[in-house]
């Protein structure tokens, strides 16, 4: 039985818990995985740049015993006008699973999933679910429990923010505070969904478009690049809106016990200062490392574990 990871909306609490627990288990006890994907052929199709996610899923699939075909931005006949449906039909007949990054909406992944055995969304325009799964794995490792954590997210309400907003409130008592520039916040429907989840699980989600009166105590300060991969901003003066949203020593100084997270790649001096990213509270590279273990857990889950 093959399964998809297209949106966190599709995963049950038990599914998320399994992937996060298994990712943390692999990260802690390396070499515990065997070759559950032996005899599988996994396609890795990235139409947009990637360092971490593409390497994590490629290495992860190979370590789990699969054989891998990779397609970069210039490789598929999609570039010459073949439809996504036709592409999906052909790939679905030949591959056991597909890991995909596009600049398009989640709906594109669903079209691929109609024909392919298993599709993993390795980042779409509107959601980055495997980033959130890897981040939950890091939080589980770091804090033991995700329930009750207080997370301050600073930056664009992009696909990483959307995934976090759809995941974190599902852990009881989580407080998610977002500080996003005006005009660059979470999509209204995602914020509404996150608040509904928060009501269900006894969590809270707040979004504000200024950096005044930051919340008093936080366990995590999370930020992300201002120029999200695969996107551009129509306003040539967009940086003015983002300037106040830099994570620097003043911001993290409010939370001496908090860890700093960043999904990377980072642009030191823009969304975060070098002092903070390379400082003692930063766990950004631990996050990046965990993307491999989380990808392995995700692939195991997709292919029947």
Min separation Cβ 264 and ligand CP, Å: 5
Least distance (Å) between residue 121 CB and ligand CP: 11
Q: Which residues of 254-280 are buried (b: 16+ CB within 10 A; e: fewer)?
A: ebeebbbbbbbebeeebbbbeebbeee
Q: How far apart are CA 54 and CA 47, in angstroms?
A: 11
- Out of 5, 6, 47, 53, the residue judged to bind ligand CP by CB under 6 A: 53
Residues 80-109, interacting with ligand CP (CB under 6 A): none
Task: Give yes or no for residue 50 binding ligand CP (CB under 6 A).
Answer: yes
Q: Using an 8 Å Cβ cutoff, are 26 and 296 in contact?
A: yes
59 binds ligand CP (CB under 6 A): no
- The answer to the question of residue 124 lying near ligand CP (CB under 6 A) is no
136 in contact with ligand CP (CB under 6 A): no
CB proximity list for 199: less than 8 A, separation 6 or greater: none
Residues 203-232 that bind ligand CP (CB under 6 A): 229
Residues β-bridged to residue 67: 41
Binding of residue 290 to ligand CP (CB under 6 A): no
Of the pair 132, 198, the CB lying nearest ligand CP is at: 132
Tell me the longest C-alpha to C-alpha distance in the chain: 55
Nearest CA among 303, 304, 296 for reference residue 20: 296
* Closer CB to ligand CP, 50 or 138, in the complex: 50
Closest approach, Cβ 11 to ligand CP, in A, equals: 18
DSSP 171: S
* Contacts to ligand CP by CB under 6 A: 50-54, 123, 131, 229, 263-265
């Amino acid at each position: 039985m093959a399964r998809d990871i297209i949106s966190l909306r599709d995963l049950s609490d038990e599914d998320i818990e399994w992937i996060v627990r298994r990712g943390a288990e692999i990260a802690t006890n390396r070499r515990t995985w065997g070759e559950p994907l032996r005899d599988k052929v996994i396609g890795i199709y990235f139409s947009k740049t990637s360092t971490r996610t593409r390497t994590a899923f490629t290495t992860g699939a190979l370590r789990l015993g699969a054989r891998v075909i990779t397609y970069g931005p210039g490789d598929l006949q999609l570039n010459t006008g073949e439809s996504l449906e036709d592409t999906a039909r052909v790939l679905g007949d030949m591959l056991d699973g597909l890991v995909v990054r596009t600049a398009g909406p989640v709906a594109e992944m669903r079209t691929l999933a109609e024909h392919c055995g298993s599709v993993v969304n390795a980042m779409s325009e509107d959601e980055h679910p495997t980033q959130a799964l890897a981040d939950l794995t890091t939080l589980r490792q770091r804090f033991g429990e995700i329930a009750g954590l207080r997370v301050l997210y600073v930056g664009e309400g992009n696909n990483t923010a959307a995934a976090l907003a759809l995941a974190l409130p599902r852990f009881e008592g989580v407080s998610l505070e977002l500080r996003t520039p005006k005009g660059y916040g979470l999509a209204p429907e995602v914020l509404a969904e996150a608040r509904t989840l928060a009501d269900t699980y006894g969590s809270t989600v707040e979004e504000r478009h200024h950096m005044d009166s930051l919340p008093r105590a936080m366990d995590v300060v999370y930020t992300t690049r201002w120029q999200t991969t695969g996107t551009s901003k129509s306003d040539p003066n967009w940086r003015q809106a983002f300037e106040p949203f830099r994570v620097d020593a003043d911001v993290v100084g409010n939370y001496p016990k908090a860890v700093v997270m960043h999904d990377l790649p980072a642009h030191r001096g823009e969304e975060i200062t070098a002092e903070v990213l390379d400082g003692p509270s930063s766990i950004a590279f631990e996050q990046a490392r965990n993307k491999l273990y989380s990808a392995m857990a995700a692939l195991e889950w997709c292919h029947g574990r």
